[in-house]
């Protein structure tokens, strides 16, 4: 709460300064000026008075241009400031997330009637005997009355789990993002919600579920898979959740490996930030199963990927899975731009190749930080004082907030260069980028199998 107090004091100070300095500004002009002064002050660790000390102007547009130049120096230089995103600052004590490094242990477990006797419901009963286990008619009905409506509710989602019987929505094509080149990924829609807390996670703004959802009927997924199957397909869990976050309890990985072993023209991917690999090591491996880890420098993990496994454990898990016969993949996603990013990401790439041989890597993706504009205020509220919003994030080709094209280009070139020093044969692709960026990086926009 100390961080919240500091940010809230900074905001109050900024608001009163702008009120007294520019009394003629209406609500919108005041809001934009406050945001710009607050963000510069936070980013540069300086007082709001210092930020506006050189301003001897009273014309709003001129003041705004002056502040935009300070807040977004690269964008200003590249003439890319036509649509800055300057919503009201969202600080709210009740929405701040307090990170508790405790094991996931839901207080309430709601089980759909049709899943009450399932093996998964039994596993939850055994793993969480102190939780309240209740039968519900359906998750859909429950949601009509108990919708997750605030960030406080979202912060508490780890206290509630739902065991469901899935009837539809088994498989989806990854929607990617508007105007971007897709990587041909398909989603095996297992679980919704995550026990980890990443500052940049899109689920914070996307979900209205008051808990984490676990389907109990994997057999039904398998039964209808043949009608979705396409040879060469790449499919995986981990789009609306983390694939292995609770695998010790759900044991989803065991039947999945068993099932996809028989479909060796398909590549199945488990995507994770965890080191929960015991079950994978205890089932006979299958060469078409890929276990992938998202990688970031440890200092980024410490401040942005709360409750996840540290980098060294992710890499150790990768090496153990490879020894057990699986292929590994890695996602440098999201790459975060900060002072010293080159040095830190180089360390990660070097560590990666110290742990894993290039021939054991199925693919590597690179994506830069991006999110729906609404997520900006969610991050501000849940993680006040965070540093990722200090970057120059502006509306990009898909209307998401992203770094400027020149910065992204620099990141991709650098990262691809680092990777090619170790091997030129690993398939690499960009996540959620447009065709011009793929071409500039000499990457062919084809499915990566």
Residues that bind ligand SF4 (CB under 6 A): 194, 196-198, 201, 203, 241-242, 273
Residue 198 or 290 with smaller CB distance to ligand SF4: 198
CA 44 distance to own-chain centroid: 26
How far is 334 from 346, CA to CA, in rounded Å? 15
Considering beta carbons, is residue 243 or 288 the nearer one to ligand SF4?
243
Q: How far apart are the first and last CA of the chain?
A: 47
C-alpha span between 409 and 7 (Å, rounded): 33
CB of 244 to ligand SF4, least distance (A): 10
DSSP one-letter code for 149: -
> In terms of Cα–Cα distance, which of 163, 185, 153, 159 is closest to 172?
185
Helices (H) and strands (E) in the chain, counts: 19, 17
Report the phi/psi class of residue 102: left, alpha or beta, with left for phi > 0 and alpha for psi in -120 to 50: beta
Q: How far is the CB of 276 from ligand SF4 (least distance, A)?
A: 12
- Count of all residues that appear for the chain in the document: 449
Closest to ligand SF4 by CB, 39 or 269: 269
Pick 194 or 362: Cβ nearer ligand SF4 = 194
Q: Could you tell me the smallest distance in angstroms from the CB atom of residue 213 to ligand SF4?
A: 13
Report the Cα 91 to chain-centroid distance in Å: 21
Closest separation in Å from C-beta 375 to ligand SF4? 11
Tokens of 113: 């009637």
Q: How far is CA 380 from CA 4, 8, 20, 42, 209, in A?
A: 10, 11, 25, 12, 21
Query: Residue with structure tokens 């469901």?
Result: 164
Q: Which is nearer to ligand SF4, 186 or 241 (CB)?
A: 241
Q: Do 17 and 48 contact (CB within 8 A), yes or no?
A: yes
Closer CB to ligand SF4, 166 or 197, in the complex:
197
CB of 308 to ligand SF4, least distance (A): 6
Beta strands in 3-138 (DSSP E): 108-112, 132-136
d(CA 269, CA 267): 7
- Return the residue matching tokens 């709360």: 306
Residue (286 or 295) nearer to ligand SF4, CB: 295
Rounded Cα distance, 237 and 354, in Å: 27
Min. distance of Cβ 301 from ligand SF4 in angstroms?
11
Cβ-based nearer residue to ligand SF4, 288 or 292: 292
Q: In whole angstroms, what is the distance from residue 25 CA to residue 17 CA?
A: 12
Nearest distance, CB of residue 16 and ligand SF4, angstroms: 36
CB of 306 to ligand SF4, least distance (A): 8
Q: How far is the CB of 196 from ligand SF4 (least distance, A)?
A: 4
Rank residues 314 and 408 by Cβ distance to ligand SF4 and give the closer one: 314
How far apart CA 441 and CA 268 sit, in angstroms, is 27
């Amino acid at each position: 709460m100390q961080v919240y107090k500091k940010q809230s004091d900074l905001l109050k100070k900024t608001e009163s300064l702008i009120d007294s300095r520019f009394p003629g500004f209406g609500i919108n002009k005041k809001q934009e000026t406050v945001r710009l002064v607050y963000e510069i002050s936070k980013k540069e660790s300086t007082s709001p008075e210092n930020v506006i000390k050189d301003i001897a102007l009273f014309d709003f547009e001129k003041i705004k241009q002056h502040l935009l130049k300070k807040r977004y120096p690269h964008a200003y230089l590249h003439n890319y400031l036509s649509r800055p995103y300057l919503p009201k600052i969202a600080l709210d004590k009740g929405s701040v997330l307090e990170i508790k490094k405790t094991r996931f242990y839901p207080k309430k477990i709601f089980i759909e009637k049709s899943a009450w006797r399932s093996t998964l419901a039994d596993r939850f009963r055994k793993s969480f005997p102190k939780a309240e286990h209740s039968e519900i008619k359906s998750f859909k009905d429950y949601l009509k009355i108990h919708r997750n409506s605030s960030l406080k509710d979202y912060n508490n989602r780890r206290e509630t789990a739902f065991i469901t019987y899935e009837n539809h929505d088994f498989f989806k094509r990854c929607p990617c993002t508007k105007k971007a080149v897709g990587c041909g990924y398909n989603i095996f829609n297992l679980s919704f919600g995550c026990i980890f807390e990443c500052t940049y996670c899109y689920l914070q703004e996307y979900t209205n579920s008051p808990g984490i959802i676990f389907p109990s009927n994997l057999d039904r997924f398998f039964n209808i898979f043949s009608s979705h199957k396409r040879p060469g397909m790449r499919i995986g869990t981990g789009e609306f959740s983390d694939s292995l976050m609770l695998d010790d309890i759900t044991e989803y990985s065991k039947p999945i490996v068993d099932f996809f072993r028989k479909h060796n023209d398909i590549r199945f991917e488990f995507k994770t930030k965890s080191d929960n690999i015991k079950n994978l090591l205890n089932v006979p491996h299958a060469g078409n199963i890929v276990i992938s880890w998202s990688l970031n420098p440890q200092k980024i993990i410490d401040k942005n990927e709360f409750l996840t496994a540290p980098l060294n454990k992710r890499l150790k898990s990768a090496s153990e899975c490879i020894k057990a016969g699986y292929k590994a993949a890695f996602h440098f996603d999201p790459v975060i731009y900060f002072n010293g990013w080159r040095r830190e990401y180089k360390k990660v790439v070097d560590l990666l190749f110290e742990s894993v041989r290039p021939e054991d890597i199925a693919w590597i993706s690179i994506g830069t930080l991006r999110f729906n504009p609404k997520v900006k205020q969610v991050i501000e509220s849940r993680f006040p004082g965070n540093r990722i919003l200090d970057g120059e994030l502006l509306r990009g080709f898909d209307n998401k907030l992203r770094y400027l094209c020149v910065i992204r280009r620099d990141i991709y070139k650098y990262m691809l260069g680092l990777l090619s020093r170790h091997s030129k044969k690993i398939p690499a692709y960009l996540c959620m980028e447009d065709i011009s960026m793929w071409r500039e990086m000499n990457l062919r926009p084809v499915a990566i199998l």
